[in-house]
Chains A and B, each alone.
Chain A
Amino acid sequence: MADQTNESGGEGPRLLEHEYDGIREYDNPMPGWWLLTFAGTVIFSVIYLFNVGPVGNGKGRIADYEAEMATAAALQPATPSRPAAAALLAMASDEEAVEEGEEVYQSYCASCHGPDGGGLIGPNLADANWIHGGSPDSVYNTIAVGVLAKGMPPWEKSLTPKQMSEVTAYVLSLRGTSPTNPKPPEGEPYTP
């Protein structure tokens, strides 16, 4: 190294001769662990870049994604089981189930169907008319798969089967109630 002296004359770090506005610098070597860390990250990077062993991109992010989806699909039944119409009807007169259903309704459905089912963006759910059928199975099915093109979202993926049945029960229980600001009926009348 250029221009260095050893302040204490022997032991201790060497102080370089130069000085800038009173600031001096030692000629200490770079810490060994630091150099090793640096070298380690460089080596890791090379290994990763060339996909050596388990280190690296592997097959890449899209292949990983497809594998993830395939695994999940294998674990799920092809057709989700649907509750029977009778069970839904029974639930519609079960106070507790309807109450649970109302809670789901208020958080997810009221924004479009109105807080009392009278209809808003979506149709009136309290009248006798149905666009997609008023039988318990049809109602369940509409809620499950939605009518995306018309602005009704599908709910099967976000609600649990229990919540699905409960909210269906609640919708069925609305029949014959009189909402404050009802939308005119749409679709065909349905008589149970």
Chain B
Amino acid sequence: MSATVLPPSGAVASARLESFSYDDDIVRKFLWATFIWGLVGMLVGLWIALQLANPIFNTSLEWLSFGRLRPLHTNAVIFAFAGNAFFCGAYYSTQRLLKARMFSDFLSRFHFWGWQAIIVAAAITLPLGFTQAKEYAELEWPIDIAIAVVWVGFAINFVGTMLRRRERHLYVALWFYIASIVTVAILHIFNNLSMPAGLFKSYSIYAGVQDAFMQWWYGHNAVAFFLTTPFLGLMYYFMPKAADGPVFSYKLSILHFWSLVFLYIWAGPHHLHYTALPEWASTVGMLFSVMLWAPSWGGMINGLLTLRGAWHKVADDPILKFFVLAITAYGMSTFEGPLLSIKSVNSLAHYTDWIIAHVHTGALGWNGFLTFGMVYWLLPRLFQTPVYSKRLMELHFWIASFGILLYVVAIYSAGVTQGLMWRAFDATGRLAYPDFVETVVRLLPMYWLRVAGGSMYIIGMLLFGWNIFMTWRRRPATYVVPVITAPALEKRYVPEVVTTPRPVGVWARFAAAGWHRTWERMPITFTVLTVLAVVVASLFEILPTFLIKSNVPTIASVKPYTPLELAGRDMYIAEGCFNCHSQMIRPFRHETERFGEYSKPGESVYEHPFLWGSRRIGPDLARIGGKYPHLWHVRHFNEPTSITARSIMPAYPHFLTKTIDFEEIQSRVDAMAMLGVPYGDAVNRAPQMAREQATEIAAEIERQGGPSDLADKQIVAMVAYMQRLGMDIKAIPTTVGVRP
């Protein structure tokens, strides 16, 4: 604790002085992209919020229905808004923290333009229904490859800059950037492994339980390493800058960094409590989530306590206000996260709006406000002129804060209301709300409040944009590019001269963190250690999930989908039905009473990808097969309100007019067969088999009094799929726990 090290003065004097400049042009580019995509993503958010409040907003255009737009919203706000914000802040701070220009101006531009092209591709393909059906990993395989390439370019640029640095040690912000960059690459690649079945169609190589596991290993860590660690890095740079004071505790940084990186990876299964995922995985996911509470709060403490002695500044500095609210929101959502991971709490919250409220506390508060504060701080520095209006900043802060409040309060109450309604039984042992739609219409007033809250947040965005625009307009004719001089690093590290005695005792020396200081001057070692932390933690869960056979007891009667059913399933995927319907009945009395026998792991063995879903805006569909006549489905898809007057489901009249591409089904079946699905004869004659089944179904629809021209229409594929769901298991004698 008491060792004092003097700066290596001799080393500095002898070093060669170098001149260089920072690349701020790339930072400006990312700044504009942050604003533009943020606005777009949030407008799409508002649009889908309207669709839930009133289904007429689904319009009659199939490209604009909720199931297709929801992934567009999430991808746009996460990867376009938050992504560009991270890049913006990272390019600015990394250069300064390392006293070096980015390694390659070309790679910086490649990163920028490549990323924007990917976003545009997402904005086009998602409404067209090209999707892998995995949350936050919806984009199809060609785009996934592009993401991997661009990301690797970014990583090379970043590591190259570290290697050319003129600052010996890496500051904590950079640790977080490193962790984010390497982990996102790993997650992205392994979750997206898939078997192409056409240019814009692929099936996950994993199936059922394993696919679910991989998806949420990825999905949870997309939150962790795309929305949390990058923004912690940004916080560690911009917060002390804006507060003009030192960071609260270096030691806290060390402990909370490593514990976050190591623990986060395990937490994914908390998205799958009470599903067919093995219970041990669910338990591990829960416990690691509980243990994440303190490491997360370490970041909050370090952020907020950096303001110690400077709280008076918050009153008249809107930038600090944004930061304080952002960090507070971070603290709230990282407390709530562990809480939601506790199984009993999760049993109420899962599938409901509670999760949506949780997400948006984090997204609107933490990611949004940190971005706003950061951009306002950057504006005068990047555009070299004072910010256009501080009053507009204040106004933005207040209107957006109230917007968040309105949004989350309404949606929390919607979530709890619906969760309680689902599980309520009356005195006679009947479900108190057997009619699902009743639990939906109860939420509509809350959905309208969300529309109001979201609108306020978006008004804030417009003020933000106006301020950016007006500041930009006042920029100088040409930007001054300051020339920086700094000594190059010595080839070899010259140890700092220690003048005070080293701490005595093993613990004291360990606690003095000198070992960590050593790591901080070895960027490659540091990166490798981070990768190790992430990979080792991942393997602990992934290996057993894939290797233990008893995780997924086989059920002999479970057979692959017929070619026509597979075509229907592809439609279900393309329309994004899984965004509103789960196919995973949990072992609770209220669920089995409502939807039927709980889902078994063995039922999903051919599910490439799994379609368990994570929301229940509509009822579960795992056992919809055989529940209604074909004609019911035909009429329901054509116009849901003709069956259930108050339904908020979008209508799909195009199913009745668009024809099935029978020939294409062959490539789909072939891809599935390549993944090991036992398709037998279907690999040779899928189109023919599909036609036969389609004719039968069409005849039955006609017999029931329906239209007579449906044999080649998409609706029959969809009906085939619906009628198959949950049927296989009915073919076996009831197992333990199955009620007759």
Q: Which residues of A contact B (CB under 8 A)?
A: 1-5, 15-18, 20-31, 34-35, 37-38, 41-42, 44-45, 48-49, 57, 60-62, 64-66, 68-69, 72-73, 75-76, 107-108, 111-112, 120-121, 148-151, 153, 157-161, 183
Task: Give 4 nearest A-B pairs by CB, closest first.
Answer: A151-B629, A158-B434, A38-B294, A65-B587
Per-residue interface assignment for chain B, residues 133 to 175, with 1 indicating a CB less than 8 Å from any chain A CB and 0 otherwise: 0000000000000000000000000000000000101011000
Within 8 A of A (CB), among B274-294: 274, 279, 283, 286-288, 290-291, 293-294
Contact A76 B169 (CB under 8 A): no
Contact B287 A1 (CB under 8 A): no
Q: How far is the CA of A44 from the CA of B289 in the complex (A)?
A: 12
Within 8 A of A (CB), among B424-469: 425-426, 428-431, 434-435
Per-residue interface assignment for chain B, residues 234 to 277, with 1 indicating a CB less than 8 Å from any chain A CB and 0 otherwise: 00010011000011111111010001000000000000001000
**Smallest distance from the beta carbon of B457 to chain A beta carbons, Å?**
31
Question: B249: which of A4, A26, A38 is its contact (CB, 8 Å)?
Answer: A26
**Smallest distance from the beta carbon of A120 to chain B beta carbons, Å?**
7
Contact A30 B252 (CB under 8 A): yes
Per-residue interface assignment for chain B, residues 206 to 247, with 1 indicating a CB less than 8 Å from any chain A CB and 0 otherwise: 000000000000000000000000000000010011000011
Residues of A within 8 A of B237 (CB): 21, 23
Residues of A within 8 A of B286 (CB): 48
Please tell me if B507 contacts chain A, counting CB pairs below 8 Å.
no
Residues of A within 8 A of B294 (CB): 34-35, 37-38, 41
Q: How far is the CA of A4 from the CA of B247 in the complex (A)?
A: 14
Contact B705 A121 (CB under 8 A): yes
Contact A49 B96 (CB under 8 A): no
Please tell me if B628 contacts chain A, counting CB pairs below 8 Å.
yes
**Smallest distance from the beta carbon of B498 to chain A beta carbons, Å?**
8
Contact A27 B241 (CB under 8 A): no
Residues of A within 8 A of B297 (CB): 34, 37
User: Which residue in chain B gives the minimum CB-CB distance to A37?
Assistant: B294
Q: How far is the CA of A29 from the CA of B635 in the complex (A)?
A: 67
Contact B253 A25 (CB under 8 A): yes
Contact A111 B737 (CB under 8 A): no
**Smallest distance from the beta carbon of B393 to chain A beta carbons, Å?**
23
A-B contacts, 24 listed (Cβ < 8 Å): A1-B3, A15-B246, A21-B171, A25-B172, A25-B246, A26-B248, A28-B248, A29-B249, A30-B252, A34-B297, A41-B291, A44-B290, A48-B283, A48-B287, A57-B283, A61-B587, A62-B737, A65-B589, A72-B429, A73-B739, A111-B642, A112-B629, A151-B628, A153-B627
Please tell me if B112 contacts chain A, counting CB pairs below 8 Å.
no
Contact A121 B635 (CB under 8 A): yes
Residues of A within 8 A of B5 (CB): 2-3, 17
Residues of B within 8 A of A45 (CB): 287-288, 290-291
Please tell me if B514 contacts chain A, counting CB pairs below 8 Å.
yes
Residues of A within 8 A of B431 (CB): 157-158
Contact A121 B631 (CB under 8 A): yes
Residues of B within 8 A of A42 (CB): 291
Residues of B within 8 A of A44 (CB): 290
Q: How far is the CA of A23 from the CA of B233 in the complex (A)?
A: 13
Please tell me if B379 contacts chain A, counting CB pairs below 8 Å.
no
Contact A16 B250 (CB under 8 A): yes
Residues of A within 8 A of B241 (CB): 22-23
Contact B301 A31 (CB under 8 A): yes
**Smallest distance from the beta carbon of B410 to chain A beta carbons, Å?**
27
Q: How far is the CA of A1 from the CA of B628 in the complex (A)?
A: 71
**Smallest distance from the beta carbon of B368 to chain A beta carbons, Å?**
24
Residues of A within 8 A of B643 (CB): 111
Q: How far is the CA of A57 from the CA of B739 in the complex (A)?
A: 24
**Smallest distance from the beta carbon of B37 to chain A beta carbons, Å?**
28
Within 8 A of A (CB), among B630-684: 631-632, 635, 642-645
Residues of A within 8 A of B283 (CB): 48-49, 57
Contact B514 A1 (CB under 8 A): yes
Residues of B within 8 A of A21 (CB): 93, 96-97, 99, 171, 237
Contact B249 A149 (CB under 8 A): no
Q: How far is the CA of A87 from the CA of B283 in the complex (A)?
A: 54
Residues of B within 8 A of A107 (CB): 435, 645
**Smallest distance from the beta carbon of A1 to chain B beta carbons, Å?**
5
Q: How far is the CA of A38 from the CA of B626 in the complex (A)?
A: 51
Contact B7 A158 (CB under 8 A): no
Q: How far is the CA of A150 from the CA of B630 in the complex (A)?
A: 10
Residues of B within 8 A of A57 (CB): 279, 283
Known pairs A2-B3, A30-B251, A34-B298 / 12 extra A-B pairs, C-beta < 8 Å: A20-B97, A23-B241, A29-B249, A30-B255, A31-B301, A38-B294, A38-B295, A42-B291, A45-B291, A61-B587, A62-B587, A121-B632
Question: B259: which of A38, A108, A121 is its contact (CB, 8 Å)?
Answer: A38
Contact B293 A37 (CB under 8 A): yes
Given the interface contacts A44-B290, A120-B705, does A20 sit within 8 Å of B167 by beta carbon?
Answer: yes
Q: How far is the CA of A68 from the CA of B705 in the complex (A)?
A: 43
Residues of A within 8 A of B645 (CB): 107
**Smallest distance from the beta carbon of A44 to chain B beta carbons, Å?**
6
**Smallest distance from the beta carbon of B552 to chain A beta carbons, Å?**
15
Given the interface contacts A17-B7, A28-B248, A148-B627, does A158 sit within 8 Å of B736 by beta carbon?
Answer: no
Residues of A within 8 A of B4 (CB): 3-5, 17
Please tell me if B598 contacts chain A, counting CB pairs below 8 Å.
yes
Q: How far is the CA of A125 from the CA of B224 in the complex (A)?
A: 58
Residues of A within 8 A of B517 (CB): 2
User: Which residue in chain A gives the minimum CB-CB distance to B240?
Assistant: A23
Question: B247: which of A25, A31, A121, A153 is its contact (CB, 8 Å)?
Answer: A25
Please tell me if B593 contacts chain A, counting CB pairs below 8 Å.
yes
